[in-house]
Amino acid sequence: MKRIELFGCPMDAATMDEAVEWIGQRIAARQFTQHVVVNVAKLVHMQNDARLAESVRACDIVNIDGMGVVWGARLLGHDVPERVAGVDLFDRLLAHAATRGYPVFLLGGTGSVVERAAQACIGRHARLDIAGHHHGYFWDDEEAVVQAIRASRARLLFVAITSPKKENFINRWKNELGVDFVMGVGGTFDVIAGKVRRAPRWMQRCGLEWLFRVMQEPRRMWRRYLGTNSRFALMLGRAWLATRRG
């Protein structure tokens, strides 16, 4: 994998297969690995959120999830082979864990969503060992949840909580979790549990997943995507002009 930097954020320009292989090697060696994916929204918010930026930069591997970031990096001259979508990487790593007997822990979503997500994961990967799961509304007693994760003896932890909460939670407690690998997966449990539909493949390839989410939840999403997409376009335009002048 080749590491690049875009708007102050380190990123690993990798294929899905390269990311899975690299992560698998570290888990087998019991090397703790903190993982994150970055998309347009996260990259934009990192510019003004120092704590989020610190949590992302602390990660051992930073995959690019979002065609906007892929295209932006390529426009600025970086060789980015493909997008590594968090939901797809999650499924690949579940398959990896199932074949090797690695227990996993699912953290996030509502109680019913994480329960359905756990059952759906087992349905997809029959030999998968779900060491435990917990909803994502635990901020009055974080330490108890951390202790439960550690007591479960899970090797992989997936955290489905909104940004920047999940990144900061992982970075804050990484030395206490007792796992070999931890990854923030955002709204993945909602997709796996069937609560939210994923965009069709053609929209994913065209970088229009954000539009599909707006179509599903217009009142909640339109301001968010309008703001972050506009700011990213401005950042990208300035960076491109700077390279031309340079």
Domains of the chain, by residue range, sit at 10-201
Q: Above 90 in pLDDT, residue 227?
A: no
Q: Which fold has domain 10-201?
A: Rossmann fold (3.40.50)
Structure tokens at 67: 């065609």
What is the arithmetic mean of pLDDT over 72-93?
96
pLDDT in tens, 84-114: 999 999 999 999 999 999 999 999 999 999 9
Q: What is the DSSP string of 171-207?
A: HHHTTTS--SEEEE-TTHHHHHTTSSPPPPHHHHHTT
Q: Which of 133, 240, 149 is nearest to 192 (CA)?
A: 133
Phi, psi of 184 (to 5 degrees): -80, 130
Q: Above 90 in pLDDT, residue 198?
A: no
Q: How far apart, in whole angstroms, are the C-alpha atoms of residue 124 and residue 13?
A: 28
Cβ atoms of 184 and 37 closer than 8 Å: yes
Task: Fill in the amino acid letter for 72.
Answer: G
Global confidence as pTM = 0.93
Q: Which of 213, 208, 238 is nearest to 83 (CA)?
A: 208
**194 φ/ψ sector (left φ>0, alpha ψ -120 to 50, else beta):** left
Beta bridge partners of 12: 3
Phi, psi of 138 (to 5 degrees): -130, 20
Predicted confidence band of residue 173 (pLDDT cuts 50, 70, 90): very high
Supply the pLDDT for residue 39.
94
Q: How far apart, in whole angstroms, are the C-alpha atoms of residue 245 and residue 224?
A: 32
Supply the pLDDT for residue 99.
97
Q: How far apart, in whole angstroms, are the C-alpha atoms of residue 94 and residue 144?
A: 25
Q: What is the DSSP string of 81-135?
A: -----HHHHHHHHHHHHHHHT--EEEEES-HHHHHHHHHHHHHHSTT--EEEEE-
Structure tokens at 42: 């996260």
pLDDT in tens, 144-163: 999 999 999 999 999 999 99
Number of Cβ within 10 Å of residue 143's Cβ equals 10
Residue 18: CB partners within 8 Å, gap ≥ 6?
Answer: 1
